[in-house]
């Protein structure tokens, strides 16, 4: 995969991150998130997209894994969402969306700037 395509994938990761941020503003709390199927499914789907994109990026350029902290958690969550859906705990999804994504977003923006 060429540098240009990797840069496009990095930009593509930002879109679902922004959707998650907007959804979190609406649902505000873990309890609301846990009890509102729409919010739960929206964030899970966006995390699945992010995980798929990160998987493609890192499989093409493994050195980027260390530059995107938390990417391994997102990729692992993507695998659970795709293959073992019923075993996903809303608390884990919320934690990743709340704790991991801001760091990932910041790092991806830095990577885009340096390309």
Distance CA 43, CA 25 (A): 12
Name the residue among 17, 8, 14, 16 with its Cα closest to residue 109. 14
Q: What letter does residue 88 receive in the DSSP assignment?
A: -
pTM (two decimals): 0.90
Name the residue among 63, 50, 45 with its Cα closest to residue 102. 50
pLDDT value for 82 = 86
Q: What is the CA radius of gyration of the chain?
A: 14
Region 48-66: what's the mean pLDDT?
Answer: 93
Q: What letter does residue 85 receive in the DSSP assignment?
A: G
Q: At what angle do helices 3-27 and 37-60 cross, to 10 degrees?
A: 160
pLDDT digits (tens, 9 = 90+) for 104-114: 999 999 999 88
User: Does 4 or 102 have the greater pLDDT score?
Assistant: 102
């Amino acid at each position: 995969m060429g540098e240009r395509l990797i840069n496009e994938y990095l930009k593509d990761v930002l879109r679902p991150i922004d959707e998650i941020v907007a959804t979190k503003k609406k649902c505000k709390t873990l309890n609301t998130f846990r009890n509102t199927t729409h919010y739960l499914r929206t964030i899970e789907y966006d995390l699945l997209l992010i995980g798929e994109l990160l998987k493609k990026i890192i499989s093409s350029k493994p050195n980027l894994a260390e530059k995107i902290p938390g990417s391994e958690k997102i990729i692992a969550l993507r695998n659970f969402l795709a293959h073992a859906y019923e075993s996903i705990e809303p608390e884990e999804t919320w934690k990743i969306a709340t704790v991991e994504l801001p760091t990932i977003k910041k790092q991806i923006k830095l990577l885009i700037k340096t390309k």
